[in-house]
Amino acid sequence: METIIKKIDDESIAEAKEILLNGGLIGMPTETVYGLAAVGTDSEAVKKIYEVKGRPSDNPLIAHVHKNYDINKLVYVSHDYVYKLMESYMPGPLTLVFDSKGVICKEAVCGGETLAVRMPSHKGCQKLLAAVDMPIVAPSANLSKHTSPVTAMHVYNDLNGKIPLILDGGKCAGGIESTVLDVTGKVPRILRAGLITREMVERIVGACEIAEHKEGDRVRSPGVKYRHYRPRCETALFAENELDKANRLYDEQIAAGKRPYIMCADYLDEHFKGKNVLKLGNTGEEIASNLYDKLLEGETEADIIIAIAMPREDGVYLGIMNRLRKSCG
């Protein structure tokens, strides 16, 4: 199968709609990362998503809908705070987990009773979702375990020959996957950290828990237990107070004839003068937006990416550190 990249516009959206309604898959942009999309009621199409990605069959998919879609068609909304959250943060990088009404096929939810729903804010994606006017399930458009794609070319590099069309909507502004928030209980609970932070949820609801994923726990969001986001080169991760160790490893790698790259926030750059550095930016938002792009740039150049951890884990940094540990730890 030939894979074609097309700029997202009315014509390519019409083509994508045709493919989706006929049981096919496409690559679509969102404001977080690129998604591998299928119609959520089509079991055969959804099975193809798992095949194409090599995704474990117990890791459910998020249903994406346009901003005027009535989510009551798909799920039971049990708590009024949900509407306040939706008003504040949707469309946007927030996924809500509800009790499902069973409209989405069982393959997409891995036989579970809950459904994760999101309204992407990416303009082109909204247009596509409105044109199809059906829930579109989509995991990130990468091969399972690999770094998530934030450009159409990243999708092409992983899925070339496996899907007919990738809609190019530019580089994803958000850069890390959506916050996954369980809203089945009285207090919302973060299952996966992202750009909508605990603090932002607390501001609207008054309280917000963070699910801990300890050994032996029943895992509520299956995706968090897998090795994830790995670039195709060696990696190492050091804390901010271990810059000397990072420098030593770098020098050892050079001495061994290897090509190491440091990956760090811009303000640490001065500690690595004359070295290869993948610079992530300065603010949490910049760093989130550049993280996967730099990992994917790094894997084409480096034998090893030596990453430096963030100085904090509140706000957006929680989601960044979660990805950094899985990709480089």
Q: Is 230 helix (H, G, I), strand (E, B) or coil?
A: strand
Binding test (CB under 6 A) with ligand AMP, winner from 8, 71, 75, 180: 180
Cβ neighbours of residue 244 under 8 Å, at least 6 residues apart? Answer: none
Using CB under 6 A as the binding rule, whether residue 39 contacts ligand AMP is answered as no
Binding test (CB under 6 A) with ligand AMP, winner from 16, 97, 104, 196: 97
8 A C-beta contact, residue 196 and residue 94? yes
Q: Is 262 helix (H, G, I), strand (E, B) or coil?
A: strand
Tell me how far, at minimum, the Cβ of 93 lies from ligand AMP, in Å: 11
Using CB under 6 A as the binding rule, whether residue 189 contacts ligand AMP is answered as no
Stretch that binds ligand AMP, among 37-45, 111-119, 246-254, 302-310 (CB under 6 A): 111-119
Tell me how far, at minimum, the Cβ of 217 lies from Mg ion, in Å: 21
Report the distance separating Cα 124 and Cα 67, nearest Å.
12
Q: Which does 59 bind (CB under 5 to 8 A by kind): ligand AMP, Mg ion, none?
A: ligand AMP
Q: Is 232 helix (H, G, I), strand (E, B) or coil?
A: coil
Report the distance separating Cα 67 and Cα 129, nearest Å.
9
Contact set with Mg ion (CB under 5 A): 140
Closest CA to 95 of 1, 5, 176: 176
Stretch that binds ligand AMP, among 57-65, 194-202, 233-241, 287-295 (CB under 6 A): 57-65
Using CB under 6 A as the binding rule, whether residue 191 contacts ligand AMP is answered as yes
Q: Which does 187 bind (CB under 5 to 8 A by kind): ligand AMP, Mg ion, none?
A: none
Q: Which two tokens stand for residue 18?
A: 């045709």
Binding test (CB under 6 A) with ligand AMP, winner from 151, 221, 235, 327: 221
Q: Which two tokens stand for residue 82?
A: 């949900």
Using CB under 6 A as the binding rule, whether residue 16 contacts ligand AMP is answered as no
Cβ neighbours of residue 257 under 8 Å, at least 6 residues apart? Answer: none
Using CB under 6 A as the binding rule, whether residue 56 contacts ligand AMP is answered as no
Which of the 8 DSSP states describes residue 140? B
Q: Nearer Cβ to Mg ion, position 189 or 228?
A: 228
Contact residues: ligand AMP, CB under 6 A: 59-60, 62, 97, 109, 112, 114-116, 139-140, 177, 180, 191-192, 220-224
